[in-house]
Structure 1
């Protein structure tokens, strides 16, 4: 990867944003799938209820169904902890291109001022 002294074009920046959005969507789909399968297998919830519970935990709203087995309670605890890390990570993935562009713009302006002094 080469380091350039200019900003990406609007098209290139849009493509970068789309790649980051795509990665976020992929991670969300995988996380929801793992959660739904986990709830289905550990507490015998139906698929819709498992997906609903996984969605609510992943978004930070909290569990919907009460867990009855030890395995389900353990899975729910670890999935909730994972969901907190997931939220921070996906937020960073989505915000990174914008923050990077802003910092690059500030850096280029500072270099420009320094060169013209």
Structure 2
């Protein structure tokens, strides 16, 4: 998934849309992995139902905060580390998703008019 450099023309719209789709698919995979990790962890360590574990993982991953109070030491440790992971994952996933869009915008602004003649 290479981007064009400053000496190349801006990618055609179909190529750009394919690139956005690829990066979006990768970002979705990271989201699914992160939610599954949190769901299994909350279910195992927090001893809560699968639905509540999924809800808790989604809320933590999006930065909304915890829903269920953790009672055991292991559950609190997992919840703490998952919250730290989620903060980094959320920013990383956002960067992955917007990378081709920001690159295209900056590439359009950087290309000189005489490059197209």
TM-score by length of 2: 0.89
Is 1:85 equivalent to 2:88 in the alignment? yes
Q: Which residue of 2 aligns with 1:75?
A: 78
The higher relative CO (CA closer than 8 Å, separation ≥ 6) is in: 2
Counterpart of 1:47 in structure 2 is 50
Q: Give the structure with higher Rg (CA).
A: 1
SS in 1 for 2:112: helix
Mapped to 2, the partners of 1:94 and 1:43 lie a distance apart of 31
Deviations 1:38-83 (A, max 9, x none): 0011011110010010010001000000101100000000000111
Moved over 2 A (4+): 1-4
Q: What stretches of structure 2 of length at least 5 have no aligned partner?
A: none
Structure 1, unaligned stretches of length 5 or more? none
TM-score normalised by the chain length of structure 1: 0.89
Count how many residue pairs are aligned between Structure 1 and Structure 2: 113
